[in-house]
Structure 1
Amino acid sequence: MADPEVDTPAATAVVEAASTDRRLAPAIINDSVLARVRSGVDELTGALRRVADHVLSDPEAAARSTIVELAERSGTSPATITRFCRAMGFDGYADLRLGIAAETGRARSAGWTVDIGREILPGDPLDRVLGQLMAADTRAMHDTAALLDLAEVERAAVALAGAGRVTIVGAGGSALVGQEMQLSLHRIGVAAWAWNDVHDGLASAALLGEGDVALGISYTGQTRETVEMLAEAGSRGATTVALTGFPRSALAELADVVLLTASQSTSFRPDALSARHPQLVVLDLLYIAVAQRTHDRAHAAFRRTAQAVGGHKATTATSA
């Protein structure tokens, strides 16, 4: 089939950007090919997007296809498949094909493919729903681990460990995730505040300066209020950290440090909701990294806070 889009300037620009953007470097280093495709699919257009959609819709079939077969099934051309491979960080189609085959093989043996991609129907029994949720979350965790750049986590941990003040911002579900992080940091003596109101968040961001940290959480990276609050913090000299699923989103572009997460949507749980567990895992990792770097202070603070609330735990009566 003819592929008129493959040589357009826009298509070439997308490939070059995807091939050189430093935000994609973690994915190229790690082994999750499908996570790499998912994280970059919204940046692709036209013929390249059709290839990505086809690979994601049936990765096992893609792993069995020749370059000509994949081109025909995606309505593109072998030249587009080659460009797609380069955009995903591969030298050629053989490397892409082997990567997909290895990943789908691991997923099959681990049971991750159970019901993934199948809609949850109103009449589905709860055991099937549970199985689908477990499979989707397991895949999302695996993809997040593949996308996450541990050097970026290290940079964020160092900044947080030495911060005089930490402001955490987000909206909706991201705000709830941010509150979890604020509670964790607060328990180990890090002065942290979490805001979901743009006025409060902007006021807090405006009071930050060099040596402080602002953490913005948004799966899409496009939530205007969160972008605005993180930008305000950055303009005051604070180190800015973004937790997002899109490496070239507005939030990621303005942040000093970018932490990437993946998601696996299901019925009644679109990407923004299904991203919560991967986000919490990344923030747990970051929290522990901060605690490691402030071990003595963190250990003492955690002990004191545990003692302070210990008296409010219910006691269990024992019989003589």
Structure 2
Amino acid sequence: MELLGRIRAERSELPEALRRVADLILSNPGEAARSTIVDLAERSGTSTATITRFCRALGFGGYAELRVAIATEQGRVAQQTWETDIGQEILPDDNLERVLGVVSGNDIRLIQETAAQLDLATVEKVAAAISQAGRVLLFGVSSSAAVASEMEYRLQRIRIPTWSRSDAHSALTDAALLGERDVAIGISHSGRTREVIEVLAEAGSHGAITVAVTSHPRSPLAEVAELVLTTASRETTFRSDGFAAIHSQLLVLDVVYVSIAQRSYERTRQAFDLTLRAVTGHRLPGGDA
């Protein structure tokens, strides 16, 4: 996971003093990389001991390692010239060319950040669990519900018994019927959606393997899940963090889906052949679509 994306994702879960350090670094990473530990402590209103705690919370041995990591990441960012439009405001009189550049650039960057931080060992575990599951339950609300529905379609297409729910009552009753060979996947950008947390907790209480898809690895949803897949998100004009996370969520689940399909290659091919033949009569001649 890229460092700044990780700091941004974990910021809200940090203690207040560490959060001030995170905010200072995120506001100007380049300056933070040039600052001494004393400078950073003074500017964040903390102490050198707090800076050291912040470094260790991120897995670094000390401040020197953190500075190198920030500087290295800033160097990579500087090489990506399209990055200059990322996160900029879209104004009412901006033309569509600029709108397209900001939106597409932001989505590209978020997908890259998600790919960089994705724990492939966890992907393997999730894919293996789903491949052997008797039932798979996907649950999300609002924009996450659309992501759950898309994953449901893909898994059903390769003969994985899957249901997605966007209603909490239906999801809770389904979760109560899951067992040890089943999988429940909760999708929530914030990781704080009460209904999603409740559904995953209910499924886990009956022995199901629980998976969280969230941008916040220290969130309450992540805490109740056995396996956590993290996504990147960044708010831009007219698109809140939740909306912006959709592409990242789809990427993560698509990697899981392809890994499952690989595990049952022949069965997947047969399923595709059967389903394509089933809808052939509904396609007009003369095209591939």
Flag whether TM exceeds 0.5 (same fold).
Answer: yes
Contact 1:137–1:264, Cα closer than 8 Å, also in 2: no
Structure 2 residue aligned with 1:40? 10
Unmatched 5+ residue regions in structure 2? none
Q: Write out per-residue CA displacement over residues 137-188 of structure 1, whole angstroms, 9 at most, x where no aligned residue.
A: 2322222223221111111000100111111111111010000100100111
After superposition, the Cα gap between the structure-2 partners of 1:75 and 1:117, relative to the gap in structure 1 and judged at 3 Å, is: farther
Q: Secondary structure at the match of 2:163?
A: strand
Instruction: Report the CA distance between 1:193 and its aligned residue.
Output: 0.8
Contact 1:170–1:216, Cα closer than 8 Å, also in 2: yes
TM-score, normalised to structure 2, is 0.94
Q: Secondary structure at the match of 2:239?
A: coil
Structure 1 residue aligned with 2:38? 68
Structure 2 residue aligned with 1:185? 155
Match of 2:213, as an amino acid?
L
Structure 1 residue aligned with 2:50? 80
Instruction: Report the CA distance between 1:73 and its aligned residue.
Output: 2.9
**1:255 equivalenced with 2:225 (yes/no):** yes
Structure 2 residue aligned with 1:214? 184
CA distance in 2, matches of 1:46, 1:227: 24
Instruction: Tell me the matched-pair count.
Output: 287
Q: Secondary structure at the match of 1:311?
A: helix
CA distance in 2, matches of 1:45, 1:131: 36
Contact 2:179–2:207, Cα closer than 8 Å, also in 1: yes
**1:111 equivalenced with 2:81 (yes/no):** yes
Q: Secondary structure at the match of 1:216?
A: strand
CA distance in 2, matches of 1:125, 1:72: 43
Contact 1:169–1:201, Cα closer than 8 Å, also in 2: yes
RMSD: 1.6
Which residue of the other structure, out of 264, 267, 270, is the alignment partner of 1:294? Answer: 264
Unmatched 5+ residue regions in structure 1? 1-26
Contact 1:120–1:129, Cα closer than 8 Å, also in 2: yes
Contact 1:139–1:264, Cα closer than 8 Å, also in 2: no
Structure 1 residue aligned with 2:170? 200
Match of 1:125, as an amino acid?
N
Q: Write out per-residue CA displacement over residues 244-292 of structure 1, whole angstroms, 9 at most, x where no aligned residue.
A: 1111222211111111111121111111111000100000000001101
TM-score, normalised to structure 1, is 0.85
What pairs up with 1:46-61 in 2 under 5 angstroms?
46-61=16-31
Seq. identity, %: 55
Instruction: Report the CA distance between 1:112 and its aligned residue.
Output: 5.0
Q: Secondary structure at the match of 2:186?
A: strand
Match of 1:217, as an amino acid?
I
CA distance in 2, matches of 1:38, 1:132: 20
After superposition, the Cα gap between the structure-2 partners of 1:117 and 1:61, relative to the gap in structure 1 and judged at 3 Å, is: farther
CA distance in 2, matches of 1:64, 1:116: 23
Structure 2 residue aligned with 1:278? 248
Deviates more, 1:196-205 or 1:169-178: 196-205
Instruction: Report the CA distance between 1:79 and its aligned residue.
Output: 2.9
CA distance in 1, matches of 2:203, 2:216: 21
